[in-house]
Amino acid sequence: MITQIKTTTWRNSAVVLAALLFCLPVFAETEPASGANAAPTSETAPQDQSPDATTRLQEVQTRIDQLKDESDEAARNSAADKIRDDIKECRQELSDQLDGLLEQWKTFPSFIAPEEEALRAERSKVESRLLKVKLALAQAPFWEAQTHLNDENSRKKLLQQSADELEKIHQAHRSQVAGLYARLLQGKCFEEMGDVRIALGIYEELLGPEGQSPTLLNLHDRALHYRLICLNRDVRRDYKLVQLEAEKWLETAEARSNSAAGLGIRWELCRALESLGSNRTTEEAERTAYLESALEYAETLNHESDTYKAATSALIDRIQQRLDGKQPEDKDAIST
């Protein structure tokens, strides 16, 4: 039987996990991390995987999310085993692609003159594919870890494996966008392992100068989203800091407030305000103000996001009951 703590952790992170693999940007890997003149990019799945691998990985993502709602233990274990088998097949397919791309990479000379634009463009294309496949492979253990709902040792081992592979990408490509995204996902691995301090350090590192390209702005926003998740955890309970950072971001990045990261930031703000409004040591008028603010943010998010609709609906119901005096103001009773 999954404990309440594990269930809460899983439900709280499910919508975040869904954004990790298939919302990575399509980026030109030759773009420097500090480049301000990058061409606009879109937040879509890595496009250079084979259709079969991409389709199966997307299906795996959905099936992992469904595991938490399977009440029958035998059925849940069987589904988890099948997901792990499919992830193994995807990893093999991606590994084969990687071998082929490495062979292609070896055919290029170490130096290509600037005037050889066609050859330089072809090499850049192969490099982009290489790094995207490497990122997908490095994340595969992360996804497999999510299938081990009752086996914490296996889960942590796989998360550490993913973190190690992502670290290799980061070290080799730290000046490129792929290296920075590897670092971001490495932070998520540590967060999932419960190493919140390490995760926060990584997110803080990525929250330096934003850069101006859409890709780098997206990276910055995701780092902030994941940071706020950590600050909202029971081991931190830095709810006031979440409020301050989220509202500051909303003031300066309103145009990005409906991105995947923006929606996540807004949800963490709702959670923090609800928690602040449930603190018995706070004056009643201030608690009410926090709850009313949480209600306002949640109602807006509920109308604008299908991803957070169920979560915001539950939060709205809780707050309305609390404001009506029908529910005890107990932080421990809040379902996250």
Tally the domains of the chain: 2
In a domain? residue 98: yes
Are residue 3 and residue 140 in the same domain, yes or no? yes
In a domain? residue 77: yes
Are residue 96 and residue 4 in the same domain, yes or no? yes
In a domain? residue 325: yes
Are residue 275 and residue 187 in the same domain, yes or no? no
Q: What is the pTM of this model?
A: 0.82
In a domain? residue 184: yes
Are residue 25 and residue 142 in the same domain, yes or no? yes
In a domain? residue 142: yes
Instruction: Determine contact, residues 183/206, Cβ cutoff 8 Å.
Output: yes
Domain boundary among 194, 216, 235: 194
Angle subtended at Cα 305 by Cα 301 and Cα 308, rounded to the nearest 5 degrees: 80
Are residue 244 and residue 329 in the same domain, yes or no? yes
Angle subtended at Cα 195 by Cα 190 and Cα 197, rounded to the nearest 5 degrees: 110
Q: What is the pLDDT along the chain (336 residues), one digit of tens a residue?
A: 333 333 334 344 444 554 444 444 433 333 334 433 332 233 333 344 444 676 677 678 788 888 888 889 999 999 999 999 999 999 999 999 999 999 999 999 999 999 999 999 999 999 999 998 999 999 999 999 999 998 999 999 999 999 999 999 999 999 899 999 999 999 999 999 999 999 999 999 999 877 889 999 999 999 999 999 999 999 999 999 999 999 999 999 999 999 999 999 999 999 999 999 999 999 999 999 999 999 999 999 999 999 999 999 999 999 999 999 865 554 444 444
Are residue 135 and residue 254 in the same domain, yes or no? no
Domain hosting 169: range is: 1-32+43-108+122-194
Are residue 126 and residue 275 in the same domain, yes or no? no
| DSSP one-letter code for 189 | H
Transcribe 66-123 into DSSP letters.
HHTT---HHHHHHHHHHHHHHHHHHHHHHHHHHHHHHHHHHTS-S---TT-HHHHHHH
Are residue 71 and residue 153 in the same domain, yes or no? yes
